[in-house]
Amino acid sequence: MTDSRPDADSTPSKPRGLWSLMGTPSTPTDSPPETVSPESTIDRRPEAESPTSVPKPTESTPATVPPRQRGLWGMMGQGAANEAAESQQDQPPDAIAPTPDVIDHAAHQPKGPRGLFALMQQTDEGLIEDLDSELPDEDVDQPKSPARSNLSPSLAARRDDTDDDIDDVEMEMIDDEEENSSRRYASTGVSSLTMEAIEPNDLEPTRFRVAAAKARQQAWVGLGCGIAAVLASALSLLPNFLASLPATAIGFFAIISAYLALTGAGRREITSATRVVCLAGMLLGTSGIFLGPLLFSGIGRSLRDASGQQSTRLHLQQIATGLDRHYAQHDGYPIGGTFGRNDAGTIVGLHGWMTFLLPFVGESELYQKIDQSVSYEDPVNRNVMGRNVTIYFAAGGDRSRIGEGFAVSHFAGLGGEIDDASGLSHLGIFERDVSVKREEVTDGLSNTLIVGELAGTYPPWGDPENWRKIGRGLNKDVNGFGSYNNNGASFLLGDGSVKHFSNKTDPKVLERMSTRDGGE
């Protein structure tokens, strides 16, 4: 029989596999079945492929082809009946019906794949009956399978093209998998030299270990910075307000490092120990930020105040010692201030009680350089009056010179008079041109204030009027008493003791304590 089909090479290629099945045009279910004439069912296969042992059908009635269903699930639901109808459609009308022996032989043949895989392994024309999982090498002389030997050269070429397409797809999938693996190895920090030695199953544990190590490192950095922030917060003990900046900066860095370690990695990479380290670093960093201004700054201020009070107390005690020595030598306290007349006959101040106390506090050399016949403001004494005397300074006070270069004193004596309902009373032990004796202190030396600390407006230590009253209270009057930090004031009493009074002390109480003969 002559092959009446056109050459396969000249036939346009059609979609193959599952897409060819899903794209097969289908006849609507409500249309009548297609009638196939016996002439149209002539065997189009080569003579070598036409079965000779199969009898021709005895019926001369036209065969009908059932309508095909559209879609994947329709194709999968055709079943064996549709396959049988299609195979019967391909047979010539004069084919011989199969004998019982042939039917029994076919029943014992192994069943092929069914369902989706069976549909994917065939095309519209039934080109491929079974795809081999492995193809024999071309250079080995092996007998061809019956399925391949029964195909025409054009169909065999198309089957080879299908095999090549499958191999190309598999190679592309392998290349994509290797490329993705390389990217994952590069993201985890594994070098290209060791990438080939790592199996694909080892990639996830390796990424886990790298991420866990990175999180653990950041956590320990945060903990170390937190400890450093707490230690640096102790710098707030210093009076400079910039001392708290290092602790603040280190504390913020500790918080950020611990937070990145806690949230930067996944939940699997964070172990319980790493989480504890992160929380400890954040806690210590926060503590370092706030410990400085809230705790150490106050402690430093208290320590400075205590140290300042101790220094002020020491200087007042040295003044008390000088007063005792002066009293022992001159049988009285130093004169509060000397006054005289200048060439014009005007009364002017000459020298104060601190000048007369110099030889008794270790400043004899300085005392001998003073010309007591002229005022302390005279140019003759100006150079000497510009010398600082350490025991005349209180802690924290400004030691800058004032006026025409006069050295200052942070202390002042109590002196003067007050006239109230109880009568005239004298304050302290300092007066103009008068040396007070202890017998005049009728209120008792231990109850009489004689020298006090100043808050500001410091006078020259040579001023002959360097005494004053209590005024409106401590740190409330520029001409009164107080301290540089506005935290009360220290006073020297007649018996040589030193007491510190707070700002809350009643000014009336202080005023009564400042009188030497008020009868209190």
d(C-alpha 300, C-alpha 243), whole Å: 11
| Tokens linked to 400 | 């800058």
d(C-alpha 200, C-alpha 437), whole Å: 104
Q: Which residues contact 140 (CB under 8 A, 6 or more apart)?
A: none
DSSP assignment string, 296-314 = IHHHHHHHHHHHHHHHHHH
Of 422, 484, 416, nearest to 450 by C-alpha is 416
Contact 448, 514 (CB under 8 A): yes
Alpha helices in 395-490 (DSSP H): none
pLDDT for residue 459: 94
Domain ranges of the chain: 16-130, 215-294, 332-514
Rounded to 10 deg, the angle between the 245-263 and 272-291 helix axes is 160
Contact 428, 413 (CB under 8 A): yes
Burial of 292 (0-12, 13-18, 19+ CB in 10 A): buried
d(C-alpha 511, C-alpha 449), whole Å: 9
Residues in the chain: 520
User: Over the stretch 478-518, which tens digit does the pLDDT of each residue have?
Assistant: 888 999 888 899 999 999 999 999 999 999 999 999 999 88
Cβ burial 310-337 (10 Å sphere, 16+ → b, else e):
eebbebbebbbebbeebbeeeeebbbbb
Q: In terms of DSSP bridges, do strands 411-414 and 467-468 run parallel, antiparallel, or are they unpaired?
A: parallel
Residue with tokens 């609507």, as numbered in its chain: 28
pLDDT for residue 115: 53
Contact 219, 263 (CB under 8 A): no
Q: ∠393-394-400 over CA atoms, to 5°?
A: 55
Burial of 45 (0-12, 13-18, 19+ CB in 10 A): middle
The helix (H) or strand (E) run that includes residue 56 is strand 55-56
The parts of the chain modelled with pLDDT lower than 70 are: 1-205, 265-269, 520
Between the CA of residue 228 and those of 222, 246, 259, what are the distances in Å? Answer: 10, 10, 17
Residue 414 in 3-state DSSP? strand
Half-sphere exposure of 104 (CA within 13 A, CB side): 3
**How much is the CA Rg of the chain, to the nearest whole Å?**
58
**pTM to 2 decimals?**
0.54
Cβ burial 408-422 (10 Å sphere, 16+ → b, else e):
bbbbbbbbbebeeee
Compute the CA torsion angle 397, 400, 405, 407 (nearest 10 deg): 30
| Tokens linked to 505 | 């002390």
Half-sphere exposure of 328 (CA within 13 A, CB side): 7
